[in-house]
Structure 1
Amino acid sequence: MGIAGFEPSFLVGLDAVRQAHGGRLAALTGRRLTGFAVVRFAEDDDWFADCPVVLDFEGVQLELCHWKLDELSIGWGTIDTAATIAGWEWFELTPRWSRRDDRLESLLGRELREVALLEWRPPSDRRDLAAGTVAVEFAFAGGGRLCVSNALDENHLDTGPAHPDCLRHELGRAVTPGP
């Protein structure tokens, strides 16, 4: 993709993602979302959903990227969002890092209260190729929510309630101070 530092390690399934990254994801609770970066095309400002979504939680950089039907790569502090995305001279559009996205801007400065993995589990009577895919859900103070999920070979950002066919696996919850 020409993204400096991006060396994805794609995992499939809830157990693989939880085992590899569950502890580090849980450790993000209590931190504030202080920055983010997504890739947009310079010519039309459209979001390029194939590229990683980078979230910064007070200096801990999390990199999420869905691929194919069911693969998820989670990285930690490897992507250089200040570097130019290279190797796209052949393409008619120019990808570049952006720190602008309405869905993410509204969450800046908010404390992460919960983090969970969402597993897509539709009813057994419905054949669904996406069954078993894993998304990462972030619940913020003040009711904000962000879910980075697989939109069948690209990332999808959702700030509304989780779909009822998602099975939620909580990884961590920030401790609320007592009286």
Structure 2
Amino acid sequence: MNRSTWKTTEGHQFFQRKTASRFANYPMSSPFQDSADAIALLHGQRLSALCGQQLTEAWVAWDKDDDSWFADEPVVLTFGDLCLSIVFWKTHEVTLEWKTIDFADPPNWFGCYGELDIEWRPCEIDSIRVSIGQTLQNISLIENCETLQVLVDAKHPEDVGSQTSRWYPFALSFRFERSIMTVYNALDENGLSDEVPEADYLRATSISDWQR
């Protein structure tokens, strides 16, 4: 079983796995979402339609020079004729796309990897590979609660010590017949796990509750 580790960064904890980190500005054709409501509005029906279908393929970008998973590019899941691409970005954003991908073309979603030797490969990472061929039973959105506290405010000293909290998308967890596959935010790139992340500052919402 693949195990991920908890990491604290800038006062927040995230479910993280060691992967090569690269940063870029990416002119996405599908906008990034930073709330559960936005994901439900834009993708809820399509995601719900995946339940009951079999995961037929899973693809990731592979860096041939490093012989490693290139985690900035999408995790691509195919369920029959449906193709779902998942990209986590920054610390609280995600985008989903439903385009058919020609896996013979080099991955370059971010538009700046032309000099890198990367290619699409069927995913051999255990947390995904074991789910191929199984029927999807449910999808959950995992959110991370970010709390900000006012430390200094010369103009409004009465606000010092006050806190505001907001929930942001952190992971999509796919529950199959005999396995779990979670794609999560590994600090500005994708991470993979065979567990559902749990913590006091995380909450999970089943896809059945998204249709609101």
Q: Deviations over 1:34-75 (max 9, x none)?
A: 001100111232111110110001221001001112111100
Matched residue SS, 1:27: helix
Matched, 1:162 2:197: yes
> Is 1:111 matched with 2:147?
no
2:105 corresponds to which of 76, 83, 88:
83
- Distance, in Å, in 1 between the alignment partners of 2:183 and 2:166 is 15
d(CA) in 1 for partners of 2:113, 2:45 = 36
TM-score normalised per structure 1: 0.80
Map residues 2-151 of structure 1 onto 2, 5 A cutoff: 7-85=29-107, 88-90=113-115, 93-101=116-124, 102-121=126-145, 132-142=168-178, 144-151=179-186
> Which has the greater radius of gyration?
2
Runs of 5+ in structure 1 lacking a partner?
Answer: 174-179
Return the offset for 1:80.
Answer: 2.5
- Distance in 2 (CA, whole Å) between partners of 1:7 and 1:135 is 21
Tell me, what secondary structure is at the counterpart of 1:20?
A: helix
Distance 2:106 2:168 in 1: 35
Task: Quote the offset at 1:122 in angstroms.
Answer: 7.0
* Letter of the structure 1 residue corresponding to residue 48 of structure 2: A
Task: Name the SS for the 1:133 alignment partner.
Answer: strand
Task: Give the 3-state SS of the residue equivalent to 2:50 in structure 1.
Answer: coil
User: Given the superposition, is the C-alpha separation of residues 160 and 130 from structure 1 closer, same or farther in structure 2, using an over 3 Å criterion?
Assistant: farther
Quote the sequence identity (%). Answer: 32
* Structure 1 residues 95 and 123: CA distance shift in structure 2, 3 A: same
Count, aligned residues: 165
SS in 1 for 2:141: strand
Evaluate the alpha carbon distance shift between residue 130 and residue 44 of structure 1 in structure 2; reply closer, same or farther with a 3 A threshold.
farther
What stretches of structure 2 of length at least 5 have no aligned partner? 1-23, 150-162
Residues 101-110 or 26-35, more deviating:
101-110
Q: Say which is worse superposed, 105-114 or 38-47, in terms of deviation.
A: 38-47
TM-score normalised by structure 2 residue count: 0.68
User: Are the structure 2 counterparts of residues 44 and 29 from structure 1 closer, same or farther at C-alpha, using a change threshold of 3 Å?
Assistant: same
Q: Compute the RMSD of aligned alpha carbons.
A: 2.8
